[in-house]
Amino acid sequence: MRESKARIAIALTLLMLGATNCAQPPMPHAPVLLRLSGSTSMQPLMNDLATAYSERHKHVRFEFSAVGSIAGIEGVRRGNADLALVARELQQQEEYDITTGKRTLAYTVIARDGIAVVVNENNLLRELTLYQIRNVFEGQITAWQDLESSAGDIVVISREDGSGTRAVFEELVMRGRRVTPTALVMPGSDAVRDYVATHTGAIGYLSIGCLGSGVAALAIDSVQPERRAIENGTYALTRPFLLVSRSEPGPEIADFMLFARSPAGQAIVRQTYGGARTVAHH
């Protein structure tokens, strides 16, 4: 009888302890800082994605460093950044260690961007062919009157070394030809937009996410730089937006990368950009 009462007492004690544990609030998450570094073109989209992610994960905050795609990759390699924002395809020599052949970086495609060729809004020209754009940026065409515009002399605006936007523009437009040495070099998409918006003769290129007042995006070979044309590939100047991490990212980094590919993340992406395609992780 005493043994039975003892068992009952132990059982009641365990039940009380369980009830006490259930009543305790869950332990709060430790604060997490995710350091994002890289493409200036990707920053508007990343601001929106980071805001949405932080609303779901209150313990996570973000720090951005707009330094260009190449510098972003180096930041991840050296441990100075958790994610690189890369506005172009990742090259094999960047993904792998060339001495060991071991993969050191992983990435996911989160969006398709269009590079818009822009002129001042007072320049009435609204369309060029890819061939004409190449000749303008090479310096073969130097006056707008040769393109049936009255905007005076052409001022070519390009981007700095290390820019993913510049790398894609030179690959898809210049095709081995050099941009004219008289081109003015700007440190970011916003700087390109602001210069073109205040100079009637200027022409430059930037991400569609950085378009704004004062500039007009040109149709290229009769195709406008719009989301559907970027998604289906009919617009000529498209490129991927990548999130690049170490080959074995931490759980919070991996979770954010998955969020950017999720229906909620892609709904944010498709407000401006083309959505990611089916192949996500490498």
Task: Please give the pLDDT value at position 282.
Answer: 46
Average per-residue pLDDT for the chain: 90
Confidence of residue 21 (pLDDT cuts 50, 70, 90): low
Confidence of residue 29 (pLDDT cuts 50, 70, 90): confident
Q: CATH for 113-231?
A: 3.40.190.10
Asked if 240 and 88 touch (Cβ cutoff 8 Å), the reply is yes
Asked if 73 and 105 touch (Cβ cutoff 8 Å), the reply is yes
Of residues 209, 193, 189, the one with CA closest to residue 273: 209
| Predicted confidence (pLDDT) at residue 112 exceeds the cutoff of 90 | yes
How many alpha carbons fall within 13 Å on the CB side of residue 40?
A: 19
CA 140 – CA 125 distance, rounded (Å): 18
| Predicted confidence (pLDDT) at residue 88 exceeds the cutoff of 80 | yes
Q: State the pTM of this model.
A: 0.83
Domain range list for the chain: 33-112+240-275, 113-231
Confidence of residue 7 (pLDDT cuts 50, 70, 90): low
Task: Please give the pLDDT value at position 214.
Answer: 97
Q: CATH for 33-112+240-275?
A: 3.40.190.10
CA 183 – CA 185 distance, rounded (Å): 6
Asked if 218 and 116 touch (Cβ cutoff 8 Å), the reply is yes
Please indicate whether the domains covering 33-112+240-275 and 113-231 agree at the CATH topology level.
Answer: yes
Asked if 201 and 50 touch (Cβ cutoff 8 Å), the reply is no
Task: Please give the pLDDT value at position 10.
Answer: 47
What's the average model confidence in pLDDT over 19-46?
80
